[in-house]
């Protein structure tokens, strides 16, 4: 099982979202997600999240501007299982660098759920937007189809 991180960065009522449309053979192709990626062997989840945000957006998150909100386990018949550490953050800037994985865009919070995204992402995004902490969720996919979800 691989460990990953995902962060939703907020600024003035909008959230920074990434449309994955640049990497070849990307399982997330055409989907809108937060910013994040695979945890390297010598990293903590926090270090991974901060590195991925810097690499993908150019934003350097300040201590105290982010927090861990939960963990999501993904099980798939097509891809390696994944344990994702889910964060939210606040940014003082909207200026972002070009991302090699796709298009970054600040999306008003009330428009996020209308974007093309994984069905399971909608479940944890609703929890995040409702202010929930300690999110523990298991999502099981067959191909692109969510077949079960459970929370602790």
Q: State pTM to two decimals.
A: 0.94
- Whether domain 2-151 has CATH 3.90.79.10: yes
Nearest to 104 by CA among 112, 96, 114: 96
CB under 8 Å to 26, separation ≥6 — which residues? 20, 101
Please, which pLDDT band fits residue 25 given cuts at 50, 70 and 90? Answer: confident
Q: What is the mean pLDDT of the chain?
A: 94
- pLDDT recorded at residue 23: 78
């Amino acid at each position: 099982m691989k460990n990953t991180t995902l962060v939703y960065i907020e600024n003035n009522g909008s959230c920074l979202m990434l449309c994955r449309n640049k990497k070849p053979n990307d399982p997330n192709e055409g989907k809108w997600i937060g910013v994040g990626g695979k945890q390297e062997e010598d990293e903590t989840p926090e270090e991974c999240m901060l590195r991925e945000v810097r690499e993908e957006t150019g934003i350097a998150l300040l201590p105290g501007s982010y927090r861990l909100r939960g963990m999501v386990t993904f099980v798939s018949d097509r891809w390696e299982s994944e344990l994702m550490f889910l964060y939210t953050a606040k940014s003082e800037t909207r200026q972002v660098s070009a991302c090699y994985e796709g298009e970054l865009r600040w999306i008003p919070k009330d428009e996020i759920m209308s974007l093309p995204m994984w069905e399971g992402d909608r479940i944890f995004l609703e929890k995040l937007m409702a202010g929930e902490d300690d999110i523990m969720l298991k999502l099981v996919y067959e191909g692109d189809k969510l077949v079960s979800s459970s929370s602790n």
